[in-house]
C-alpha cells in the first residue's frame, strides 16, 4: 500500500464540481457524484493503530485516482470521506457500473489480512441529469443519499437516475425559495414547553413557517427539503438561529424565555456550525444558556464518536443540547453515559400510545428513569389531553409540549398567550 494519502481539499472539490456542472449543461451530458465513506475507520484506528488507518486511507485514494484517470475528479473531503466526480455520463445508468467497480476495487484493495477489521464501505450517489441542477443541489443530493445508507437504508439507484416528476407547485416553490431566504420572507412560530413541577412555561420551541402568496402555507418539512435540494441548509439554519436570537433580545425587557431551535441532521458534524452560533450569539448579545439546540438522535448515533465530539464542543460553549425524537434511533445504553446533552426529548410516537400500550408506557418510564440517573431533563412532545399529561407526570417526566397547551403560535399570539396564562397555564388548558 502507498504511504501517502490525499490531503483534505473540500474547497478544491467544490470548485471542481462548480466547474463541471455548467460543462455538463452545455454538452447535455449527465454528471454523477459519488461520496465514499470508510465508515469504521475510527474503530480500526483504535484497535490496530493509526498507521493502519493511514494506509487504508492512502490506498483508497490511490485506487479512486487510478479508477478515474481524469484530473480534478477525486478529492478527500472529510476525515474518512472521498468525493468522486463522474463527468460525461452518456447514460445516467452508467453510475451503477461505476458504483460496482468502486465497491469491487476498494473491497479487494483495502483487505489487509484476516486479523485486521475489514473496512465498512458506505457510498452515496447523485446524478445530475443534463446538468440541470446546481452544484450545491447535486452535493446535497449525494449527502442525503449517503446519510440514508449510513442509517441502514438500501441505495435506490433507479430512483436516482429517473427523471424527477416536477409539479407546477414544485417549480413555484423552487423558484421562490432562495428569494424568500434572501428577503426574510419566512416567519417563526413558537410552541411553549411547560414544566410539570411548577406549571410554568419554561421555554419554547422555534418552528419555521412560510406563507407564499398564490400558493399558501408551505409545509415545514417541504421547506427543509427545498433547502437541502438547493444546498442552502446552512443558510436556512443561520437565518433561523439569528431570527430566534434577535427575538430573545427584543423580549428581554418583558420575558426572559429560553428558546430551542432545530439543527438539521446534516449540519451536526459541520465544522462551521459552532462558529456560526458563536457569531450569532455575539451579534445579538444573548447568553448561550438561553439557546438550546435540538438534534435528532439518528444524526448523532450515525457516527457516535464524531457526533459526540461536536456536541461536546457546543456544550462547552454553554449552549443547551436536546436529543430530539429519542427512542427512534436504536441507541444503546452506553449512549446515556457519553452523550453531552442536557435534555432528552421523547418522540411523540411513544407519548401518544402510553395510554393504550403498556409496553410504550413502560419504555417511556425506563427512558425517564435512566435519563434522570445521568442528569438529563426529559421532555415529552405531542401531549394532547389531560390523561396523557397525568400519566407523564406519574412517570416522572419533567417538561411537556403539545396541543393540550398550545399549538405553535405566531409571535404576537404567543406573547398574548403568555400574558393570559401569566406563565402558568391551567391543567385544563387546551
Spell out, as residue ranges, where the chain has pLDDT lower than 70.
1-5, 40-41, 43-50, 52-53, 109-117, 158-172, 298-307, 327-335, 422-430
Closest CA to 399 of 409, 408, 389: 389
Cα 416 from chain centroid (whole Å): 33
Residues in the chain: 430
Asked whether the domain spanning 171-421 has the same topology as the one spanning 10-161, the reply is no
Predicted local distance difference test score (pLDDT) of residue 168? 47
Say which CATH superfamily domain 10-161 falls into: Reverse transcriptase/Diguanylate cyclase domain (3.30.70.270)
Burial group, residue 328, by CB count within 10 angstroms (0-12, 13-18, 19+)? middle
CB 201 within 8 A of CB 421: yes
Residue 426, C-alpha cell as written in the block: 391551567
What does 4-45 look like in DSSP terms, one character per residue? --PPB-HHHHHHHHHHHHHHHHHHT-EEEEEEEEETTHHHHH
pLDDT at 234: 87
Q: Give residue limits of the domains in the chain.
A: 10-161, 171-421
How far does CA 314 lie from the centroid of its chain? 15
**Superfamily name with CATH number, domain 171-421:** EAL domain (3.20.20.450)
Q: pTM higher than 0.75, yes or no? A: no
* pLDDT value at residue 255: 86
At 333 the pLDDT is 65
Amino acid at each position: 500500500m502507498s504511504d501517502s494519502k490525499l490531503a483534505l481539499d473540500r474547497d478544491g472539490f467544490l470548485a471542481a464540481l462548480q466547474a463541471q456542472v455548467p460543462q455538463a449543461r452545455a454538452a447535455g451530458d449527465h454528471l454523477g457524484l459519488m461520496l465514499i465513506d470508510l465508515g469504521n475507520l475510527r474503530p480500526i484506528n483504535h484497535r490496530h493503530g493509526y498507521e493502519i488507518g493511514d494506509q487504508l486511507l492512502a490506498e483508497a485514494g490511490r485506487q479512486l485516482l487510478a479508477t478515474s484517470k481524469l484530473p480534478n475528479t477525486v478529492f478527500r473531503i472529510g476525515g474518512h470521506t472521498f468525493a468522486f466526480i463522474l463527468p460525461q455520463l452518456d447514460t445516467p445508468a452508467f453510475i451503477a457500473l461505476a458504483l460496482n467497480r468502486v465497491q469491487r476495487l476498494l473491497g479487494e484493495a483495502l483487505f489487509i489480512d484476516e486479523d485486521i477489521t475489514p473496512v465498512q464501505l458506505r457510498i452515496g450517489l447523485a446524478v445530475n441529469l443534463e446538468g440541470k441542477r446546481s452544484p450545491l443541489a447535486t452535493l446535497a443530493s449525494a449527502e442525503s443519499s449517503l446519510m440514508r445508507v449510513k442509517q441502514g437504508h438500501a441505495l435506490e439507484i433507479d430512483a436516482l437516475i429517473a427523471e424527477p416528476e416536477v409539479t407546477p407547485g414544485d417549480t413555484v416553490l423552487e423558484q421562490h425559495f432562495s428569494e424568500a431566504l434572501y428577503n426574510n420572507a419566512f416567519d417563526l412560530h413558537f410552541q411553549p414547553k411547560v414544566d410539570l413541577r411548577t406549571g410554568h412555561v419554561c421555554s419554547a420551541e422555534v418552528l419555521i413557517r412560510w406563507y407564499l402568496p398564490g400558493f399558501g402555507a408551505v409545509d415545514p418539512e417541504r421547506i427543509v427539503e427545498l433547502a437541502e435540494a438547493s444546498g442552502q441548509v446552512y443558510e436556512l439554519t443561520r437565518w433561523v438561529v439569528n431570527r430566534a436570537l434577535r427575538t430573545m433580545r427584543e423580549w428581554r425587557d418583558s420575558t426572559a424565555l429560553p428558546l430551542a431551535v432545530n439543527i438539521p441532521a446534516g449540519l451536526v458534524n459541520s465544522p462551521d456550525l459552532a462558529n456560526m452560533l458563536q457569531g450569532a450569539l455575539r451579534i445579538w448579545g444573548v447568553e448561550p444558556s438561553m439557546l438550546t439546540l435540538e438534534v435528532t438522535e439518528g444524526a448523532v448515533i450515525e457516527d457516535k464518536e464524531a457526533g459526540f465530539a461536536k456536541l461536546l464542543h457546543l456544550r462547552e460553549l454553554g449552549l443547551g443540547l436536546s436529543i430530539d425524537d429519542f427512542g427512534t434511533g436504536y441507541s444503546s445504553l452506553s449512549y446515556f453515559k457519553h452523550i453531552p446533552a442536557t435534555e432528552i426529548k421523547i418522540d411523540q410516537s411513544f407519548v401518544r400510545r402510553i395510554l393504550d400500550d403498556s409496553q410504550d408506557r413502560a419504555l417511556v418510564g425506563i427512558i425517564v428513569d435512566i435519563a434522570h440517573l445521568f442528569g438529563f431533563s426529559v421532555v415529552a412532545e405531542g401531549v394532547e389531553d389531560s390523561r396523557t399529561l397525568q400519566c407523564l407526570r406519574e412517570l416522572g417526566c419533567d417538561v411537556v409540549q403539545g396541543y393540550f397547551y398550545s399549538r405553535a403560535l405566531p409571535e404576537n399570539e404567543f406573547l398574548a398567550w403568555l400574558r393570559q396564562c401569566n406563565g402558568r397555564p391551567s391543567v385544563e388548558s387546551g
